[in-house]
Structure 1
Amino acid sequence: MEYPLHKLTIGALAVEAGVNVETIRFYQRKKLLPEPERPQGGIRRYGPAEVSRVRFIKAAQRIGFTLDEIAQLLQLEDGTHCSQARDIAEHKLADVRHRLEDLRRMESTLADLVRRCAAGRGKIACPLIASLQETR
């Protein structure tokens, strides 16, 4: 369903941005999305800027940015602070690479334990359980 983009209710904003209403409210509580004034006896209305902002937040989350990092990026959204935005992205990239190293170590350890479990026969202790008990 298409809505006039300058007169969106919170529900229509959620549909246009591809999120649910509670996500919109959460972003408002976190100060990532401004909450428009409510006209006397009326309903708050949203426009294309809010749709774009929610889409920006979701896109940033998909590539791993935290809400705090997204808040920093939103402060730079006028496009004149590219070096600061790059610094935030470089820090995130370093964090992602560190997590990948950790995941590779975890994968290697688990693969080894699974291999040892498959090779174990008879009345020996399960290598996986034994290994985890030793690391207490």
Structure 2
Amino acid sequence: MTIGEAAARSGVSAKMIRHYEAIGLIEAERRANGYRSYGAQDVAVLRFIRHARDLAFPLEDIRRLLALWRDRTRASAEVKHLALGHVEALEAKAASLNAMASSLRHLAQHCAGDDRPDCPILTELEGKTA
């Protein structure tokens, strides 16, 4: 199938398919005319990548997950370890985002939001104490 058909079946854009090929996550066969050709297994790999990206796995972790997925002799413990490490990273990121939101909420509560130029939000961004 063509890259457009593979994109439609996998939910991954043709541009991202080319990118994944460029970084070695997927290998497309080349026809005699130089065009890429994809099969059902390629679409399965693309769907795997898309689902992993939906869960915010970094590309290097996706590379490792793909290798584990392809290795039928793998121990599921490796997969679990990788997934739980990602959970920890997501939780740390969520805590950081919550702290940022709290800080901005605090600054916004102390901003009069009127016609005066004084604004603790801008003062904080400038690096001065609000």
Name the TM-score class by shorter chain: 0.7 to 0.9
Aligned to 2:123: 130
Matches within 5 A, 1:23-62: 23-38=16-31, 40-41=32-33, 43-62=35-54
Displacement of 1:30 in angstroms is 1.0
| Change beyond 3 A, Cα 1:44–1:110 | closer
Q: Which amino acid aligns with 1:100?
A: A
The one-letter amino acid of 1:9's match is: T
- Paired residue for 2:97? 103
Q: What RMSD, in angstroms, separates the aligned Cα atoms of the two structures?
A: 2.3
Runs of 4 or more off by more than 6 Å in structure 1? none
1: distance between equivalents of 2:35 and 2:77? 40
Q: Following the alignment from structure 1 to structure 2, what is the Cα–Cα distance between the partners of residues 49 and 121?
A: 60
Alpha-carbon contact 2:28-2:37 (below 8 Å) kept: no
Residue 106 of structure 2 aligns with an amino acid whose one-letter code is D
What residue number does 1:3 align with? none
1:81 is aligned, of 75, 82, 86, to: 75
> Is there any run of 5+ residues in structure 2 with no aligned partner, and where?
none
Q: How does 1:3-18 map to 2 (within 5 A)?
A: 8-18=1-11
Higher relative contact order by CA 8 Å / sep ≥ 6: 1 or 2? 1
Inter-partner Cα distance in structure 2 for 1:128 and 1:105: 15
- How far the C-alpha of 1:35 sits from its partner, in A, is 2.1
Please report how far the alpha carbon of residue 122 of structure 1 lies from its aligned counterpart in structure 2 after TM superposition.
Answer: 8.0
Letter in 2 for 1:62: D
Instruction: Normalising by structure 2, report the TM-score.
Output: 0.85
Q: Give 5+ residue unaligned stretches, structure 1.
A: 1-7
Kindly, what percent of the aligned residue pairs are identical?
31
How many matched pairs? 127
